[in-house]
Each structure stands twice: as structure tokens, then as C-alpha cells.
Structure 1
Amino acid sequence: MGREIKKIDPHPDYPPEKGRYLRGNDYSPVAVVIILNRDEDKIPPEIEELVRTGVETGAALSGTLQTPNIGIEKIICNVVANPNIRYIILSGPESEGHLTGDAFKALFKNGVDEKKRIIGTEAKHPYLYNIPMEFIVRFLDQVKLIDLQFKGTPELIRKAVWACYQEDQVEFMEYKLHDPGAYPEPPLSGKITWKFSRPWAEPDDDNERRAVKKMQEMIERLKKERKSN
């Protein structure tokens, strides 16, 4: 008899942010993000196919990402509202000019600084200042990134989603994947606030500063864990 995988209901407002995505199984451990490098009304068929493949294979959410700021903020809001999501599969091309894929991967690798700027990316305006630092910290602790950018095909996405569903650990490319169950904290719910404060301003208060420190410590811990695996 296999181990019990704990699942919980997402927040009643899930997913709080609208966007170019399809909603699938709310109890799935994985979401799929496809980088969009075209205008919204000119989405190529191959991008649409990747998005459909994600949700048809069992992803909780599957959609496109175009910008390295508000687009990422919306993903964070939607993911932390559903603790069952523990992985994000990134696929598709790069968004020239925006460098959205680079920013998204840098977020997982380096986190953000005190001004909520994603560290270590060449993307333009990679600020996440419309969401609380608490959401960013939670997002990075809740989910792991599976990087299939530039090499994602429908078949590869199917295999990646399948691997995330497994009770026992399986190897997928360089990743060791299984469904760990829901994140052990209640869902968070909130929308981007559309603040007009400058992104280069200092953190608003001590709580923000403590959240930054916590996130930086977590990033260092994750780096050490990757090296030991």
C-alpha cells in the first residue's frame, strides 16, 4: 500500500488573478508556464499546444507568461493560493527584450533584494513590488522549478507532469520528482496591489526586512541542498 499524499482545498478565491491560462486539476502538484514572445492576439499554434498539453496531462494551471514583473506577480498570487502546487514546469522560447524566462529562473536561483528586484537577471524592470514579500518567500519555499525552456515539447511536458504525480521518487532528466503532498501551511490569497510607490524604495517596515532576510537564508539553504544532491 502506497503512502498517503495529503491534499487540501485551495483558497475559495483561487485562482485570484486572471490571465492567459487554463485551469485543470486543483489537487495537482504541478503548474505549467510557457514563455510568450508574441503579442496576445498573435499566439502561435505551438505555444497553444504546449499550454493545452499541460492542462490535459493534469496540471493545476497551464498558461503563458510574457512580462518579468506583473506577469510573474500574477503567477505567484495564483500558486500560493493553492498549496497543492509544488512544482512549476517552465517551457517555451525566450521573450526577446523582456528576458522573462531569464528573470523567472533567476527568481528561483537568487530571490529578490530589499527593493523586490529579482537578483541576477538582465531583464528590464524585474520588480515584484505589487505583492507582499510574504508571498514571494512562500512561493519560493512552496514550489520547485523544472526548467524545460528551449527544449520543451508536448511529449516532454507530458513526461514532466507525469513524474510530478508519482508517489515514489522518479528521475526525470536531472530532476528527482514525486508528489510531496500539499505545502504544510494554509493557502494565501490576494491580488496584486498596483502600488505606485517606486520599486527602488526601501522596504516599508521591519516585517518586510525580516521577510527579505528569511528569503535570503532560504535561498542559501536551497543552494546547499542542490550541491549535496
Structure 2
Amino acid sequence: MKTVAEGWPIVKGDYMVGDPRSRIAVITLASQINPSPEVALWGSSKTENLGVEKIIVNVISNCNIRYILVCGMESRGHLAGHSLIAIHENGIDETGRIIGSEGAIPFIENVSKAAVKRFQQQIVILDRIGLTDPEKITEIVRRYKDRGEVYPDQPLVAISQKKRQPTFTDSLSGDIIISEEFIMDAAAGVVCPTKDF
């Protein structure tokens, strides 16, 4: 059985590819920590939306990956680690919002509910947010890199959904102001950048 999708990793990002047969990937959040070649993927994630999407897409397209070590320091406001853990535990609602995430804009627009479900089934999250000690991280990697079986299904290549179009044309018609840069139409569940005046 094929365990890694052709062209893996599927989406580009701020990461290094190690051993695609490894059972563990490491997400260092906003910290830069020297990578280990013993992991499948090693990289940072600073956002609670696109960063989480990239992790999901790249992980479910490699059935060897069964664990994700989430370590390093959180990105302020975005809470990418918290959002990754929340999507794993709770999934997304009908609008694409990560249930239970406290990130600034925790909306998933390019990954289907089916892909999120697969991520939840395939992966065990090792929550070590705040851990930056390279030796302790290496110990965890070595403990999990060969642990467990390959996920017993084909690699899933998540097809990007078409981005939702805003239901309003004037940025001032949004009903929730998120920041100076973003507003939201709560009824549509759409977050859009504000226009420059």
C-alpha cells in the first residue's frame, strides 16, 4: 500500500522535510529551533488559519505520520498551537470556524470537514507548547519516530475548496470589527480585510 502521496509535501511552507517514513512531525510555532532529520516534517506555524490548513494537508497526505509534537512559543494573538489542538479536539463548525479556538481569525477556508476528520483520526497531538529545549524535544522525537503503525488508509490529498466570496461589497457593511485590518460578516461567517480610505 502506498503511504505517501505523490509530490509530498503537498503545500509549501516554513518547514524542513526529514524522513517521510517517520511517525512524527514537529511544529515549533513561533520559535526557531534547529530541526532533527528524524522527523517527517519540522517547521513553524504562526497563524491559526493558513498555518493550521497547511499542517493538516501535509500530514494527511502521509500515512506514516501519526504524532505531531506542538512545541515552542505561541505567536501572540494568533495562538496557532492552541488552534491546532482545538481543531484536533473539536473540528470546525458550518462556517469553517475552529470550535474552541481563541485565535484572532480561526477560520478554515481551504480544507474540508472530511479532511479535518481524517486529521483527527490519524494524529495524536503531543501538546508541549512552551517547550524550547532542543534536548527534550529530541528525546520526544526519538520516543515517537518509530512508534505505532502506519495509518491504515490511502494518503488523502485534500483538494482546496473555492474560497468563499464575501456577501457584502463595502467593507463597512461587516457587523463585527476584528481589528483595524479585518472585519467580519457574522451571518455569512466571512472575514475580510478592511479597505484603505
By percentage of residues, which structure has more helix? 1
In structure 2, the CA distance between the partners of 1:194 and 1:68, relative to structure 1 (3 Å rule), is farther
SS of residue matched to 1:65: coil
The structure 1 segments of at least 4 consecutive aligned residues displaced by more than 6 Å after TM superposition are none
Give the TM-score, by structure 1 length: 0.68
Corresponding position of 1:110? 90
One-letter amino acid matched to 2:158: G
How many residues end up aligned between the 2 structures? 170
Distance 1:200 1:118 in 2: 16
RMSD of the alignment, in Å? Answer: 2.0
Corresponding position of 2:149? 181
Contact 2:112 2:158 in 1 (8 A): no
Give the TM-score, by structure 2 length: 0.79
Corresponding position of 2:14? 20
| CA-CA distance at 1:148 after TM superposition | 1.0
Larger RCO, structure (CA 8 Å, separation 6 or more): 1
Q: 2:59 aligns with which of 57, 75, 79?
A: 79
Corresponding position of 2:142? 162
- 1:69 correspondence with 2:49: yes
More off after superposition, 90-99 vs 77-86: 90-99
Contact 2:71 2:127 in 1 (8 A): yes
Specify every segment of 5 or more residues in structure 2 that has no aligned partner in the other structure, as ranges: 167-185, 190-197
Residue identity over aligned pairs, in percent, reads: 35
Q: CA deviation digits over 1:115-160, x for unaligned, max 9?
A: 2211112111111121111111101110010011112311111111
More off after superposition, 105-114 vs 88-97: 105-114
Distance 1:128 1:135 in 2: 11
One-letter amino acid matched to 1:66: K
Specify every segment of 5 or more residues in structure 1 that has no aligned partner in the other structure, as ranges: 1-6, 37-46, 167-178, 203-229
